[in-house]
Amino acid sequence: MSAVRTEIGMGRSILIVDDEPIQRESLMQMILLYGYQVETAESGEEAISMLQNYTFDLLLLDLNMPGMSGFDVIDYIVEHNVPSKVIVVSGDASFDSAREALKKGAHDFVKKPYAPDELLNTIKNAASKKELEDSHEVMSTKLSESEYLHRFIVDHSPDIVFMLDTDGRFTFLNDTVYKSLGFSKNDLLGQHYSKMVSGQSKEQAQFVFTERRAGERKSRNIELKLKCQGESEYRYSDTTSMSIMLNQSDHNVNGQFQGTYGVARDITEKKQAQEVINFQAYHDLLTNLPNRALMEDRLQIAITQSKRNNQKLAVMFLDLDRFKWVNDTMGHTMGDRLLQAVSQRLESCLRSGDTLARFGGDEFTLVLPQVKQREDASIIAEKVLNEFKTPFMIDEHELFVSASIGIAVYPEAGTCMESLIKSADLAMYCVKERGKNGFEFYNEEMSGISNSKLMMERDLRKALMNDELRVCYQPQVNAETEEVVGFEALVRWEHAENGLVFPDEFIPIAEETGLILEVGNFVMETACKDLAEWRASGIDNIRVSINFSAPQVDQDDFIDRIVQTLQKYNLPGSALEVEITENIIMNDMAHVIQKLRKLTTLGIKIAVDDFGTGYSSLSYLQHFPVNTLKIDKSFVNSIHVNKGGTSIVNAIVAMAQGLNLNLIAEGVETDPQLEYLKSLGCAEIQGWLFGKAESAETTLEMLEKIRNGSALRELAA
């Protein structure tokens, strides 16, 4: 019995308020039996003070008490939101007072004297009602907590979260919409989404948000431009939207379209970065002009159109005439600014549809997709040249530069992109050749020179700019001991397209065009630097022979340059041998001899290269300040093959000995050649038998191996 009773009360707490002790006691005894926790108060005042300190589920309240009445207690409870249910237990039989108590907020009313069952039932009902209310309260607290949490998550999302109704109007937006786009969400709620989507994206958005999709196709991603309030006009967003479908019944698979749920992520920064990258891929960053890739793209399109419409088009190749001079004398920053200024002026000559591009360095190209006749292109070329008549003002500097322009017209000068560019380039080069500052159309005759001197000269100029030249070293050995006594510095050209180019192919052109001065300076500088490095690593007693061409020797500063370079690398004169050909001496004997004398006083040795191939100058030799004769490899080659050949070798050796000159035989490839030369008394040998010309690094490695006991011949083999 008691177990059942305990279950009824389930530990709910009850406060009995009655001024009559007997009443209180009997009530308490009865209720305790049913498993309630009971406290008592003997007055309204005491009840209130207990309510202030404890919480009770129920109050059994007498109405008539001296001092504070039961009504006052009810008032207090209501006023203070005390969460207790009040059951009035009163001897006051009047219907009015019961009604008033209920009106004031009492839960129920039991009249004294009460039947215990009736009272217990009332208590039980009130208690279970209270329990329901309590659990409801817990639930709703939990609910609002959970809603708060979700709200928090949604509003703090970096993405805009939204819902649209079936007509595309916003029914929900999170706070991010304000942070991202500057729109208050209340302004947007109820509005059509198109209010937020920027012009070009509207059509796309229309499709996404109004299309009703189900199943796997329910959600989709698109990039949209969203309008923005504030500084920027719009922002890019990556928007995922999802059709919201409600399945009406389990059998209805298609469901009913409820609207759209979506998330929009701001990807403006990413987009902008992408735009920059795209721009960089197709533009020259110095001038912001299209680069070669974009120009080729446009040219290709223009060719296709011309082909289709049977029209002409022109490609112009423009090269600045004195740019290298500006770059060399005023510095690269000035050079860069000049290029920027030039490109601005060139742009002013364009018609819409024309493309001006920077091809590289100081070269620009112009694609003119619409030319009716050649004259259209010449008008533009003249306009461009005219622009160059006014000097360019950069800071306080007034720079005069002119341009050489080559024009290739489709289809005469070529029908594909490559040939048009090549023709324009060639025509430009002919302008340079003719004296620069002008323009010329490509013609048939020019094609003959495409692989010739002209192209070589152009390429060599580029090679010098792009650092494509290398210096290699071929050993020279003592014929008897086979010890290394020196190296000849021989220039090589690592051509970007043609691979390794040997000096016989480009030195003659370099000499003709004057480029040899730059080539020669490069070789001397490099050779002295390399020699200084070898000496620093402990390998001394080695000299380097450097070839000098006539234009170099002709220079007024020929001697000074040599002296300065030796000084720069802290090298003694004896470390250098200057190789010149007989022809150089014979052409301007008086001057050259004077210069050579100076060199010998500095301890520098003079070698006559390719001896025997030039003037028959044997008789002059005794007047020359010469130390060494180099027997040309063609004579060495003829040893044992041709009797006449060997007799020349014999004669040279005999004469050198007579004049007390050192002798080096060049082009020695075989042991019989070596033996023969030794038998004649030739002191030094150079040739593939002892090694070809190698890079500075390989040479140093070789020298170190020799120092550690290896023989050169083994290394060369």
Residues that bind ligand C2E (CB under 6 A): 474, 490-491, 502-504, 507, 520, 523, 547-549, 579, 609-610, 633, 666-669, 686-688, 693
579 binds Mg ion (CB under 5 A): yes
Distance CA 227, CA 235 (A): 7
Q: Kindly tell me which of 171 and 613 has the beta carbon lying closer to ligand C2E.
A: 613
Work out how close the CB of 686 gets to ligand C2E at its nearest, in angstroms, rounded to a whole number: 6
Q: Kindly tell me which of 421 and 527 has the beta carbon lying closer to ligand C2E.
A: 527
Work out how close the CB of 553 gets to ligand C2E at its nearest, in angstroms, rounded to a whole number: 10
Q: Is 499 left (phi over 0), alpha (psi -120 to 50) or beta?
A: left
Distances (CA, A) of 170 to 112, 163, 212, 220, 224: 62, 6, 17, 18, 17
173 interacts with, out of ligand C2E, Mg ion, none, CB within 5 to 8 A per kind:
none
Cβ-proximal residues to 412 (8 Å cutoff; 6+ apart), any chain: 442
507 interacts with, out of Mg ion, ligand C2E, none, CB within 5 to 8 A per kind:
ligand C2E
Distance CA 446, CA 408 (A): 12
Work out how close the CB of 583 gets to ligand C2E at its nearest, in angstroms, rounded to a whole number: 11
Decide: residue 276, CB within 10 A, 0-12 exposed, 13-18 middle, 19+ buried: exposed
Work out how close the CB of 547 gets to ligand C2E at its nearest, in angstroms, rounded to a whole number: 4
- Expressed in percent and rounded to 5, the helix, strand and coil fractions of the chain are 50, 25, 30
Distance CA 421, CA 414 (A): 9
In the chain the first and final C-alpha atoms are separated, in Å, by 118
Stretch that binds Mg ion, among 110-118, 153-161, 464-472, 543-551 (CB under 5 A): 543-551
The two three-digit tokens of residue 271, written as one number: 């987009």
612 interacts with, out of Mg ion, ligand C2E, none, CB within 5 to 8 A per kind:
none
Work out how close the CB of 636 gets to Mg ion at its nearest, in angstroms, rounded to a whole number: 10
Run of H or E including 393: strand 392-394
Binders in 376-435 for Mg ion, by CB under 5 A: none
243 interacts with, out of ligand C2E, Mg ion, none, CB within 5 to 8 A per kind:
none
Work out how close the CB of 543 gets to ligand C2E at its nearest, in angstroms, rounded to a whole number: 15
406 interacts with, out of ligand C2E, Mg ion, none, CB within 5 to 8 A per kind:
none
458 interacts with, out of ligand C2E, Mg ion, none, CB within 5 to 8 A per kind:
none
106 interacts with, out of ligand C2E, Mg ion, none, CB within 5 to 8 A per kind:
none
Work out how close the CB of 638 gets to ligand C2E at its nearest, in angstroms, rounded to a whole number: 13
Work out how close the CB of 692 gets to ligand C2E at its nearest, in angstroms, rounded to a whole number: 6
Q: Kindly tell me which of 279 and 502 has the beta carbon lying closer to ligand C2E.
A: 502
The two three-digit tokens of residue 102, written as one number: 């209920």
Q: Kindly tell me which of 384 and 576 has the beta carbon lying closer to ligand C2E.
A: 576
Helices and strands per DSSP (H, E), number in the chain = 28, 26
Distance CA 454, CA 36 (A): 115
How many residues are recorded in the chain? 717
321 binds Mg ion (CB under 5 A): no
Q: Do 193 and 209 form a contact (C-beta atoms < 8 A)?
A: yes
Binders in 591-650 for Mg ion, by CB under 5 A: 609-610
Q: Is 384 left (phi over 0), alpha (psi -120 to 50) or beta?
A: alpha
The two three-digit tokens of residue 583, written as one number: 């022809």
Q: Is the bond preceding 66 in cis, omega lying within 30 degrees of 0?
A: no
Q: Do 126 and 118 form a contact (C-beta atoms < 8 A)?
A: no
Closest CA to 191 of 170, 174, 173, 205: 170
By rule CB under 5 A, what string of x and - marks binding of each residue 60-99 to Mg ion? ----------------------------------------
Work out how close the CB of 304 gets to ligand C2E at its nearest, in angstroms, rounded to a whole number: 46
Q: Kindly tell me which of 131 and 512 has the beta carbon lying closer to ligand C2E.
A: 512
Cβ-proximal residues to 528 (8 Å cutoff; 6+ apart), any chain: 544, 565, 566, 568, 569, 571, 576
Q: Do 315 and 365 form a contact (C-beta atoms < 8 A)?
A: yes
Q: Do 162 and 177 form a contact (C-beta atoms < 8 A)?
A: yes
Closest CA to 81 of 102, 49, 60, 55: 55
Work out how close the CB of 657 gets to ligand C2E at its nearest, in angstroms, rounded to a whole number: 22
Angle between helices 503-513 and 516-536 (to 10 degrees): 120
Work out how close the CB of 688 gets to ligand C2E at its nearest, in angstroms, rounded to a whole number: 3
89 interacts with, out of Mg ion, ligand C2E, none, CB within 5 to 8 A per kind:
none
What is the residue whose two structure tokens read 């065009």? 513
667 interacts with, out of Mg ion, ligand C2E, none, CB within 5 to 8 A per kind:
ligand C2E
490 interacts with, out of Mg ion, ligand C2E, none, CB within 5 to 8 A per kind:
ligand C2E
Q: Kindly tell me which of 13 and 695 has the beta carbon lying closer to ligand C2E.
A: 695
Work out how close the CB of 513 gets to Mg ion at its nearest, in angstroms, rounded to a whole number: 21
502 interacts with, out of ligand C2E, Mg ion, none, CB within 5 to 8 A per kind:
ligand C2E
Q: What angle do CA 78, 80, 85 make, to 5 degrees?
A: 45
Distance CA 652, CA 613 (A): 12
474 interacts with, out of ligand C2E, Mg ion, none, CB within 5 to 8 A per kind:
ligand C2E
Q: Kindly tell me which of 577 and 579 has the beta carbon lying closer to ligand C2E.
A: 579
Work out how close the CB of 582 gets to ligand C2E at its nearest, in angstroms, rounded to a whole number: 12
Distance CA 643, CA 480 (A): 25
Q: Kindly tell me which of 669 and 704 has the beta carbon lying closer to Mg ion.
A: 669
Stretch that binds Mg ion, among 136-144, 262-270, 530-538, 661-669 (CB under 5 A): 661-669
The DSSP output letter for 351 is: P
405 interacts with, out of Mg ion, ligand C2E, none, CB within 5 to 8 A per kind:
none
Among 180, 327, 355, 547, binds Mg ion (CB under 5 A): 547
Work out how close the CB of 613 gets to Mg ion at its nearest, in angstroms, rounded to a whole number: 9
Q: Kindly tell me which of 425 and 694 has the beta carbon lying closer to ligand C2E.
A: 694
Rg (CA), the chain: 52
Q: Kindly tell me which of 235 and 630 has the beta carbon lying closer to Mg ion.
A: 630
Contacting positions for Mg ion (CB under 5 A): 547, 579, 609-610, 666
